[in-house]
Structure 1
């Protein structure tokens, strides 16, 4: 196990270390970051008030909006001369979020991503193909630094150029693939279309994240590529990928708690919830130097799993993400997560894992339409078979979500493919048309 001395710390020792690091981080932020000085003063909290881990609930939350308001360097906890690298979120809905790294932060990033890849058995003899995007996006560099930390050969292909991705998999004998799950499916589809049996390649393991995906999609990826697929978790606001990952048991994702302290809170009230209760994941960076954050509200819905893991790691796990508070759809008063719909579609034969969810409004009534590609075999069948399958999927969607949805089977290869994060939800209710 990579860095096993830390990953198998007795729980009591881990909690002692976390409390020590939390106290030091709060004091550091209070003294060095005016944003947090003001926030802590407003909350009536001083660094000396933080004595135990339970006191973390006294600290203010940090949101994505907060981080955008102090763009670009308002959260720096070091002199800017100590920053050696910076990454940003996409910023598609406003100012981007900046994550600035010291040399110590980059070493930390390599370590936690090394732990991530090690969970899938990657070592110095492996060839790691990074098909996450490089540049300001954190995905490519995170996987890159993790592979280097383990001594593996890293192929920085970046996202896109699927023909080159496939050539690289074949020519170099890649053994580990890192990309979004939707792009992994696209690579598998592309390989089949060009006569390459992807399952016969040396590729044996994949690390997929940056977008929601279901267990059914995992099974589809594993079948098409002939690999074991691991779920990984991270976000730009904390460090990028490397916040947590699945171990070989694949029963939840271990959070690397010695560096990132997890809480679950009620999404509405912010009240801390006990382990095992579903709510919003909140993370505090205990050791980040460049841009540390206190109690960052991730908007990801999950719960903490405190039970001991058979792998021997003592960090708590989170359940696979169950949706987000900000991409949850409310359709006719019912909460619907896109993953619920995906789970239904991937259980159905004769459809491909490419779909769009369209929410619209007909007068005062919300409508939900799911477009999904039919398989080549179904495309050549009788129209009656197509209509029957649409109705069957609609019944399954109703059973899963509790609302009536319309299913439309579309021709193969008609839904746009993604080389990064797939856009699957189109909520047209937010569009206002002016005369």
Structure 2
């Protein structure tokens, strides 16, 4: 099923015309309504009339998270406050929060984008879906909730915080779908197993997002719960969940580029990279009213393909994220992403996907320790067996990362579980 076939299967030529018209309108609006953008464009000698279509996109200035924080709270809003009917804000750990506002039209578009994504994942009006993202200023809960209602599904607004109650209702209500972070879904699976309820659920699909996860983790989730798991992507600055999602073929996330115009650039040179080449994802919102953004640098590292998908959609597809250009670790001169560690551990099969990377510095040399949970069926009290497993993991990480890491095996379920975004890295170098 396709929610909006006219837009999701539009020809490339038709799409370019639509995108161009919407981009021209957006640029004119922000120039005359947002002093920040007017100054930025004037500083580089650009006026709205210079932008005639998407071929002129690269002439526009970039926007960063720092720009949103410097204009805190409402400096980038393009409409009067009387037209803003909802506000969301990020829960960033450093600096001021990034604040975004939505008009009624923005919320309608957002709901449709999430409905498209859920339809892509196989959810319909006949499903009962538990929304286990956090509600409140975080966009995940309300974004998924409104999209599911737009679709016509029965919504159970679970939020996070009480996993036992969630699993009880999953069984009692016969929930067939769930929206949550992938790490929390693994915790839910563990709880179902512990309570002997894993065979009592009717779950068939999960829509997971809000944190990077690997293809191996998706397969593990599907095997544990006997479901189909889909990757949904979004960020509050652009809209929230529903900017992109993967279909049943899992060959990239389809971007709704009739609303969000994507680019992939080299984060150092800021020039566009070739199709299918790794770079930083950049978005320009071309229908958003409350806080339209020009060329927003997401810091997410991906590649993009414009080839028509097997599912029939002509939407561009971004590859599963390798990491972020701003949370990439540089250890002894080597670029390291947590997702590389996760992929290496899951390939082994003897460990769980729960791990913690601890980066430190001793005698002016960076050190990396990876704490790894061992699967219960492989956990042994025999020191020799644990030593052998430790060496195998260290070898696997050496191959994956290109640097040596000290591995510390820990007991099953000893690493703290998260009901939101999983914390995978402690970098003590930054605390000195």
| TM-score, structure 2 as length reference | 0.98
1:363: which partner in 2?
363
1:278: which partner in 2?
278
1:5: which partner in 2?
6
Alignment of 1:33-432 (within 5 A): 33-198=34-199, 200-432=200-432
- Distance in 2 (CA, whole Å) between partners of 1:76 and 1:152 is 32
8 Å CA contact 1:232, 1:245 repeated in 2: yes
8 Å CA contact 1:21, 1:286 repeated in 2: yes
Which ranges of 4 or more aligned residues in structure 1 deviate by more than 2 Å?
A: 375-381
Instruction: Show CA shifts across 1:152-192 (max 9, x none).
Output: 11111101200111011101111110000000000001111
Q: Secondary structure at the match of 1:24?
A: helix
8 Å CA contact 1:27, 1:47 repeated in 2: yes
Q: Secondary structure at the match of 2:281?
A: strand
| Deviation for aligned residue 1:379 | 3.0
- Distance in 2 (CA, whole Å) between partners of 1:376 and 1:267 is 42
8 Å CA contact 1:281, 1:301 repeated in 2: yes
| Deviation for aligned residue 1:140 | 0.4
- Distance in 1 (CA, whole Å) between partners of 2:216 and 2:318 is 19
- Distance in 2 (CA, whole Å) between partners of 1:349 and 1:121 is 29
- Distance in 2 (CA, whole Å) between partners of 1:262 and 1:52 is 14
| Deviation for aligned residue 1:91 | 2.9
8 Å CA contact 2:299, 2:326 repeated in 1: yes
Q: Secondary structure at the match of 2:184?
A: helix
| Deviation for aligned residue 1:306 | 1.4
- Distance in 2 (CA, whole Å) between partners of 1:277 and 1:384 is 44
8 Å CA contact 1:301, 1:325 repeated in 2: yes
| Deviation for aligned residue 1:376 | 2.2
Q: Which runs of 5+ in 2 are unaligned?
A: none
- Distance in 2 (CA, whole Å) between partners of 1:377 and 1:276 is 40
8 Å CA contact 2:29, 2:78 repeated in 1: yes
- Distance in 2 (CA, whole Å) between partners of 1:159 and 1:269 is 41
- Distance in 1 (CA, whole Å) between partners of 2:64 and 2:16 is 25
| TM-score, structure 1 as length reference | 0.98
- Distance in 2 (CA, whole Å) between partners of 1:19 and 1:103 is 24
8 Å CA contact 1:19, 1:51 repeated in 2: yes
8 Å CA contact 1:129, 1:174 repeated in 2: yes
